[in-house]
Amino acid sequence: MKINLANIKKAKNLLNKSECIAIPTETVYGLAGNAYSDQACRKIFRLKKRPKNNPLIVHYYDLKKVKEDCILNDNFLKLYKKLSPGPITFILNLKTNSKISKIATNKKNTLAVRFPKHPVARSLLKKLKFPLAAPSANISSRLSAVTSNDVKDDFGKKIKYILEGGRSNIGVESTIIDLRKKPKILRLGGLDIKTIQKILRKKILININPSKISVPGQFKIHYSPGIPIRLNVKKIKKGEAYLMIKKKKIDKPNYFFLSKKGNLRESAKNLYSTLRKIKKNKYKSIAVSKIPNRGLGKTINDRLLRASKF
Ligand code: TXA
Ligand code: MG
């Protein structure tokens, strides 16, 4: 992707004034503001209609700047070396003298840290004097945005600027891992857990449906396209859109495929855009055929299950 420096400059100027803009990342678009500014972070919560107790992910260019705000540990350094920049978010302890806005963290002493790989996001982060708080650029509990048009659909004129970055390559949010003690996955995402296990050379706890919800991102209802979803469907009902992982020989207007050949990575990339398309085509409900529960299929199933609780 060619980087348009005039656009980066415009984004930078707005962010310097504590404005809130949308930025592309390789996972999904983010609603970004200066993570050191209470004013900018308040705007993010307001625009997204996000509950105040749901802390924001903070995006950094590289390790150097994170050191100023967070306490690093061995597991983090191992994973950072192999996987950053990329679709993984690390939960770390904050330093007591960190400059991160208490609005962003909801006064928690931990921080979700991510290093996005998207060249436009990196070019912007490199030029800023502060990291960017950026939750996914969608109205709270709805589908994340994977194009600038998706962001426009959700926010219209309420958003000051959308930095163009094309379509997000991964298409689902980052995998979140808590590294404060024993590594623990808090959200399945764009990075396969097996890759993390190989690097740390151990099996990692998965805690994506805790009995006690520690952050609202773990709520059962989330990622909703705004219409009912039925899962593992073999026979659809009249008028339903049918979502399948692999292209079928017979083509019908209500059949939607996530991948031509049933590739799980490609399916994850197409998931949100296909759900948005079905909603736009005015279907009242979606039936989903079974999706293999391995690799990124696990992330797809996690999102569809939460979306089906709508
Ligand atoms: O791929 C992504 O992660 C995208 C792009 C824009 O970076 N961002 C994203 O942000 O998905 P958001 O806010 O939609 O989801 C972040 C999740 C939320 O469920 C939030 O509760 C959780 O991260 N989170 C934030 N701070 C946390 C913390 N200190 N401890 C545990 N979870 C945290
Ligand atoms: Mg989100």
pLDDT in tens, 286-298: 999 999 999 999 9
Task: Tell me the residue range of the domain where 247 lies.
Answer: 229-307
For residue 138, the ligand 1 atom closest to its alpha carbon is 14
**Residue minimizing CA distance to atom 17 of ligand 1:** 217
Distance (Å, rounded) from C-alpha 135 to C-alpha 115?
13
The mean pLDDT value for 110-133 works out to 98
pLDDT in tens, 255-275: 999 999 999 999 999 999 999
Check if 168 has its Cβ closer than 6 Å to any atom of ligand 1. Answer: no
Q: pTM score, two decimals? A: 0.96
Same domain, 32 and 150: yes
Same domain, 40 and 127: yes
The tokens for 268 are 């994850």
Same domain, 150 and 271: no
Same domain, 250 and 102: no
The ligand whose atoms approach the alpha carbon of 89 most closely is 1
Same domain, 201 and 249: no
Same domain, 22 and 163: yes
pLDDT in tens, 183-212: 999 999 999 999 999 999 998 999 998 766
**How many domains does one find in the chain?**
2
Q: Does residue 222 lie within any of the structural domains?
A: no
Strand 110-114 vs strand 57-59: parallel, antiparallel, or unpaired? parallel
Q: Does residue 211 lie within any of the structural domains?
A: no
Same domain, 182 and 235: no
Q: Does residue 122 lie within any of the structural domains?
A: yes
Check if 44 has its Cβ closer than 6 Å to any atom of ligand 1. Answer: no
Residue 38 maps to which CATH number?
3.90.870.10
Residue 292 maps to which CATH number?
3.40.50.11030
Same domain, 169 and 302: no
Same domain, 174 and 35: yes
Check if 108 has its Cβ closer than 6 Å to any atom of ligand 1. Answer: yes
Same domain, 118 and 66: yes
Q: Does residue 214 lie within any of the structural domains?
A: no
Distance (Å, rounded) from C-alpha 13 to C-alpha 7?
10
Distance (Å, rounded) from C-alpha 70 to C-alpha 56?
15
For residue 87, the ligand 1 atom closest to its alpha carbon is 1
- Starting at the earlier edge strand, list the strands of the sheet with 286-288: 229-230, 286-288, 241-246, 255-259
